[in-house]
A and B are shown apart, each in its own frame.
Chain A
Amino acid sequence: EAGVAQSPRYKIIEKRQSVAFWCNPISGHATLYWYQQILGQGPKLLIQFQNNGVVDDSQLPKDRFSAERLKGVDSTLKIQPAKLEDSAVYLCASSFREREGFYEQYFGPGTRLTVT
Chain B
Amino acid sequence: GENVEQHPSTLSVQEGDSAVIKCTYSDSASNYFPWYKQELGKRPQLIIDIRSNVGEKKDQRIAVTLNKTAKHFSLHITETQPEDSAVYFCAARNFGNEKLTFGTGTRLTIIP
Contacts and interface: CB of A to CB of B under 8 A. Distances in A.
Contacts of B95: 101
A109 B43 CA distance: 5
Contact of B51 (A43, A44, A45, A102): A102
B85 to A, nearest CB: 16
Given A91-B44, A105-B46, A40 B98 contact: no
B81 interface: no
B48 to A, nearest CB: 11
Interface in B56-112: 89, 91, 95, 97-105
Nearest to A102: B32
Contacts of B43: 91, 107-110
A64 B77 CA distance: 42
Nearest to A101: B95
Given A42-B89, A91-B43, A104-B46, A56 B99 contact: yes
A105 B51 CA distance: 15
Contacts of B99: 45, 48, 56
Interface of B: 4, 6, 32, 34, 42-46, 49, 51, 89, 91, 95, 97-105
28 contacts: A40-B105, A41-B104, A41-B105, A42-B89, A42-B91, A42-B102, A42-B103, A42-B104, A43-B44, A44-B102, A55-B97, A55-B98, A56-B97, A91-B43, A101-B95, A101-B98, A102-B32, A102-B51, A104-B46, A104-B49, A105-B46, A105-B100, A107-B44, A107-B45, A108-B43, A109-B42, A109-B43, A110-B43
